[in-house]
Structure 1
Amino acid sequence: MKAAYFITGTDTDAGKTTLAAGFLYAAKQQQLSTLAMKPLASGCEMTKQGLRNSDALALMAQSSIKLAYQAVNPYAFAPPIAPHLAAKEVGLELNVSDLYSAAQVILQEQADLTLIEGAGGWRVPLSNQAFLSDLAIALKLPVILVVGVKLGCINHAVLTAEAIINDGLKLAGWVANGVDANCSYLEENLASLKQLMPAPCLGEVPYLEQASAKAVANYLTLA
């Protein structure tokens, strides 16, 4: 298989980590090696081992190749704010070059399935000059878009898909993730997305009270 993808979302809380963990779990069930990375994360908690991010830990739990935490999440920040602002608070300026080098460490492991998860949506800034999407462009990875299904998701999904394609990357597919338990006209929204999105749907995940990797994997198409 030896496939690597960049995971992005329509916005914050679209469910990128939940879906990434589901893909990794599904791959492991097929006896494939797995590895994932969260290059930067805000809202981390201080532990005896240092700052730790729950999303990065969830990805590590579904990675069959075990690496040190710092390799999986090289940039961890405590404030639950935009990464470039959190970095600024500690006197650090994020740049694509450093993130690219960190990602190469992950990609060189040559897992059967490698996922690199972004933060927030496609155009999350790293600085006044660069965006996190620039990392995906530099890595030349195909992109999987997680669509948080709720009011307004069609606009967010179509615009994000257009941005990914205009940036010269392949949109490998998208996943509909139910983030609103009371989403009105759910089936109609899904039908519109399938008609408008320029890539295949890789899964429809309903709203789940316990969105474990195992539970989510049941709704995904790994192929």
Structure 2
Amino acid sequence: MKQGYFITGTDTGVGKTTISCALLQAFAAQGNKVVGMKLIAAGSENGKWLDVEQLLAASNISVTRQHINPYAFDPPVSPHIAAQQTGVGIDLTVIHQTYQKLSSKADIVIVEGAGGFLVPVNQHQTGADLAKLLNLPVILVVGMRLGCLNHALLTAQAIRAAGLTLAGWVANCIDPQMLFLAENIATLEQRLGCPLVGVLPFDKRIDAQENVKYLDVTKLNCYSIG
């Protein structure tokens, strides 16, 4: 049975790509054909979008960058502003069609959203509309730092209000100086109402394959995507 997950975060820069790549590696290790998808990329370096490159490298089926990344913009700003600046309209139908093509080729599709769950993607729609269109269970990446409890709980509330399933969450320890880390994780375990899939320690040297050992994808329930 085919599966897919929509990856969102409590904010931008909390490690969605890191977690997405680790999930791809974990599912690939189970013998699945996997592919990552970066719906909207904003912020290039030397003509490349590093998150797109990382997802492409973590996938194990042959696809092009255009297949996994329908929209890419140079400025590292909100998608709707980046699109305005370049005169491009972000059409969710185009994204949905691209996703369907990928899901026909892979057993597992890991779809990484842009920024946080409610980030605007055009003049009228947000990341929540995109997630609803794809109708995938959501995995929430929580960047563990001061303020993350409120951000995580509000995001979980928004996900459920959109009628989507919060399948699990990952604690990504992005602040090595965070006080009472274990207590904060325990608080979210108690209040989020979904499985803790893993806790990634702060270590910039760890790659996606190394991160796999910190995730337990068996805690995720199986959802059909077609």
Is 1:184 aligned with 2:190?
no
1:153 maps to which residue?
Answer: 148
Question: CA–CA distance in 1 between the matches of 2:2 and 2:116?
Answer: 26
Provide the aligned length of Structure 1 versus Structure 2: 218
8 Å contact from structure 1 (residues 173, 202) kept in 2: yes
Say if 2:101 is the partner of 1:105. Answer: yes
How does 1:2-151 map onto structure 2 within 5 Å? 2-47=2-47, 52-109=48-105, 111-151=106-146
8 Å Cα contact 1:100/1:138 also seen in 2: yes
Deviation at 1:171, TM superposition (A): 0.5
SS in 2 for 1:44: coil
- Residue 147 of structure 1 deviates from its aligned partner by 0.4
* CA distance in structure 1 between the aligned counterparts of 2:127 and 2:104, rounded to whole angstroms: 21
**Quick check: 1:196 aligned with 2:191?**
yes
Per the alignment, in what secondary structure is the counterpart of residue 145 of structure 1?
Answer: strand
CA-to-partner distance for each residue in 1:55-85, whole Å, 9 max, x for gaps?
Answer: 0110111101120111111211111111111
Please give the per-residue CA displacement for 1:88-123, whole angstroms capped at 9, x wherever unaligned.
1111121322221222221222x2221010011000
CA distance in 2, matches of 1:197, 1:146: 12
User: Any idea what the Cα deviations from partners look like across 1:109-163, whole Å, max 9, x if unmatched?
Assistant: 2x22210100110001012210122111011110000000010111100110010
Determine what percentage of the aligned residue pairs are the same residue. Answer: 44
Deviation at 1:2, TM superposition (A): 2.1
Aligned equivalents of 1:45, 1:94: Cα separation in 2: 21
Residue 123 of structure 1 aligns to a residue whose secondary structure is coil
Deviation of 1:46 (Å): 4.7
Q: TM-score, normalised by structure 1?
A: 0.94
Question: How many Å apart are 1:211 and its aligned residue?
Answer: 3.0
Query: What CA distance in whole angstroms lies between the structure 2 residues aligned with 1:6 and 1:77?
Result: 21
Contact 2:70 2:94 in 1 (8 A): no
